Structure 1
Amino acid sequence: MTSFTFTKNAENTTTEPVLDALIDGECKAANDAAPLEVNSIPQAEIDAQMQLLASQDGLPVMFSAGGNPAEGAKLAEAGALVDFDAKLTELGVRDKISEGAVSTIEKLYGGGFDFLPFQYNIEGVFYNKALFAENGWEVPTTWTELTDLAAEVQAAGKTPFAASGEQGWPLTRLVSGYLFRSLGADALEKVADGSAKLTDPEYVAAAQAIADLGTAGYFGANVTSLDYDAATNEFLTGNAAMIYMGSWLLGNINGDGNQIGADNVGFFPFPAVEGGAGSIDDYPANVGLPATFAAKTADDPNVEAWLTCIANGYGNAALEQGQITGFVADADVDLPEISQTIADTIGSSTSSVLWFEALFNAEASQISSTNAALLVTGQLSPEEFMTMVQDALDK
């Protein structure tokens, strides 16, 4: 192999700069032997294009995942992808990938470690530390403590939770968070395999818990009309005490638009549900920009050199550019405190869960997101909301 070909989704602007940095460092020798060659195609075309290339035995050495994890799982089942558990172990760099990230990949892609986490996001509650300190509020660890805190925040004249009803998914993330804590990490996998339904009473109870937050006014008066940016602004201007979001929010937190200051932002996991089967240590997570290697070329010495240097260096090179990935980062990088908190949490995490729509079909995902605001404003009952989504899943 004379070049290291990488086909990425055109929307991905973060992976290539890190690879370029590695070319000047950890991957210099690998690039000298087989220069990096990057091609871009639209995200929407990747799944179909890679399936076609796989059928022609013409996959690039490395390529990004498409938008549908089931398509990636098909390639793995067909033997077209590298088994990274075996290959990285063979190369002596298996310990360079976060176990939490591996757990997420296995859940998304049919059980195997067949993709690499060039990005890794965990989710939880970001909160205004200064506001908490001023009012003597403690970080909640249980659902009851969280709802009691929300009442105190509201009484103090602040919105307890900023959330985008227009996007919807920031609200359904709360439903799945409750499900994972009340029923366990496999709650939505059971829905996906048909052994449980969203209309079962214990699932409706999760939707009811989030609807109750809306009934109490804890999302504020404008939740339906708030888009993602407006909801983020509610938190970063100090109008809302908390926001449930993923670690991709760090870009906003560390940016110029943060009026409360990055030093005043803290993070805690979705709280435990009393008597629930789930663990507070399971963080909802995604590997936003995963990529994989073709099995056909994986044993080429030049490919092995590239894979080894990526495993060894990507985490540190990305962190120096302000990115948090599923690769281990052990360099001494001066990060904002909140970014270090997230990095430490990722580094110590050994398992993860997905999110509400992760295993849904396209129709169910759309129905879920577009109707979430109606759930928290009382225009749809929890039973009606879960029935609508389940009906789409049953098709």
Structure 2
Amino acid sequence: MKADRLLDLTPIIDELGLRDKFYSFDEFTVNGKIYGLPMAGYVEGLFYNKKLLSENGIQPPQTWDELMAAAAVLKAKGIVPFALAAKDSWVINMMTNTLWVRTAGVDSVQGLLDGTKKWTDPDMLEAFSKYETLVTNKYFQEGSLALSYAEQQNKFMAGEAAFMFDGSWANTPLVDMEKSGISGDVGFMNFPDVGGPGDGYINGGWSNAYGFSKKLTDRQLVAAKAFIRQMYNEPMQKRQLLEEGMPPR
């Protein structure tokens, strides 16, 4: 915004009657002006291989203890409990973010921003201690810290890992019969409860958006409006949900 390169979409949104059609513009609003249109929503959670769990007598775990018990059984049988490729740090942060919300409560996120919460608080450290358990017990695929993000999906799609913590955006390749070896066996669930004040919460949002250059020509502006009109209508949003697994904006 400081570079003044993005188009203010506020008048276009009003012209097309879309202001009340979106859940929120908060992430893309600066000084009352809207500069982005959310592409879609997302949630993060635990993907699981239904077949692997069933073959090993495991039900989708509802608690942390059940999850750890399942991981121990799987590892003992030579099955990787969790697919993880953590060369990019944000991939690790997905699960730890969910864990500290579980142990410290949903207000912990805002607390970290305003300074009322610290990384060294006992309920925050509890989350990292649980994550350390996964590392210590070698429940992740070997060499995970050196692998790029796509490798965890490849591991999971090959049927070589029972669980994978990821976002709903990963759904598309996982259920693609031409790309995935487990397309008919993919389950998705909220991360299990850990016994903390944040149990049950789901991390999600609308963090990706379409933006447009402020330097659009008149013809390009017409095209941009046509794109927005075509993209943000009920039939298209339903299609996006059914075909891509992306929640409407």
- TM-score range (shorter-chain normalised) is 0.7 to 0.9
* Alpha-carbon distance in structure 2 between the residues aligned to 1:161 and 1:306: 43
Q: Paired residues, what number?
A: 238
- Which residue number in structure 2 is paired with residue 195 of structure 1? 116
- The answer as to 2:237 corresponding to 1:285 is no
Contact 1:116/1:292, CA 8 A, preserved across alignment: no
Matched residue type, 2:138: G
| Deviation for aligned residue 1:152 | 1.8
Contact 2:103/2:126, CA 8 A, preserved across alignment: no
Normalized per residue, the structure richer in helix is 1
- The answer as to 2:154 corresponding to 1:154 is no
* Alpha-carbon distance in structure 2 between the residues aligned to 1:317 and 1:92: 14
- Which residue number in structure 1 is paired with residue 235 of structure 2? 316
| Deviation for aligned residue 1:257 | 2.6
Matched residue type, 1:190: G
- Which residue number in structure 2 is paired with residue 11 of structure 1? none
* Alpha-carbon distance in structure 2 between the residues aligned to 1:113 and 1:187: 29
User: Any runs of at least 4 consecutive aligned residues in structure 1 with deviations exceeding 6 A, and if so which?
Assistant: 110-113, 305-308
CA deviation digits over 1:73-103, x for unaligned, max 9? Answer: xxxxxxxx56x7xx59x94872x43x4xx3x
* Alpha-carbon distance in structure 2 between the residues aligned to 1:319 and 1:292: 24
| Deviation for aligned residue 1:191 | 0.7
* Alpha-carbon distance in structure 2 between the residues aligned to 1:205 and 1:250: 30
| Deviation for aligned residue 1:289 | 2.5
1:151–1:181 Cα change, 3 Å = same
* Alpha-carbon distance in structure 1 between the residues aligned to 2:33 and 2:75: 45
* Alpha-carbon distance in structure 1 between the residues aligned to 2:134 and 2:31: 35
* Alpha-carbon distance in structure 2 between the residues aligned to 1:288 and 1:239: 31
Matched residue type, 1:166: K
| Deviation for aligned residue 1:312 | 5.5
Contact 1:143/1:273, CA 8 A, preserved across alignment: yes
- The one of 151, 172, 182 equivalent to 1:230 is 151
| Deviation for aligned residue 1:122 | 1.6
1:239–1:310 Cα change, 3 Å = same
1:309–1:237 Cα change, 3 Å = same
* Alpha-carbon distance in structure 2 between the residues aligned to 1:153 and 1:270: 18
* Alpha-carbon distance in structure 2 between the residues aligned to 1:177 and 1:110: 28
* Alpha-carbon distance in structure 2 between the residues aligned to 1:92 and 1:288: 18
Please state whether the residue corresponding to 1:224 is helix, strand or coil. helix
- The one of 121, 125, 134 equivalent to 1:213 is 134
Contact 2:49/2:186, CA 8 A, preserved across alignment: yes
- The answer as to 2:131 corresponding to 1:179 is no
Matched residue type, 1:316: P
Please state whether the residue corresponding to 1:263 is helix, strand or coil. coil
Q: TM-score of the superposition, structure 1-length normalised? A: 0.52
| Deviation for aligned residue 1:216 | 0.8
Matched residue type, 1:106: D
Q: Where do residues 225-264 of structure 1 align in structure 2 (5 Å cutoff)?
A: 225-255=146-176, 256-260=178-182, 262-264=183-185
Q: Where do residues 98-113 of structure 1 align in structure 2 (5 Å cutoff)?
A: 99=23, 102=24, 106=26
Contact 2:67/2:192, CA 8 A, preserved across alignment: yes
- Which residue number in structure 2 is paired with residue 121 of structure 1? 42
| Deviation for aligned residue 1:156 | 2.5
Q: Which has the higher contact order (CA 8 A, sep 6+)?
A: 2
CA RMSD after TM alignment: 3.5
1:219–1:310 Cα change, 3 Å = same
Query: Runs of 5+ in structure 1 lacking a partner?
Result: 1-46, 54-58, 63-80, 295-301, 325-332, 350-395
Please state whether the residue corresponding to 2:187 is helix, strand or coil. strand
Q: TM-score of the superposition, structure 2-length normalised? A: 0.78
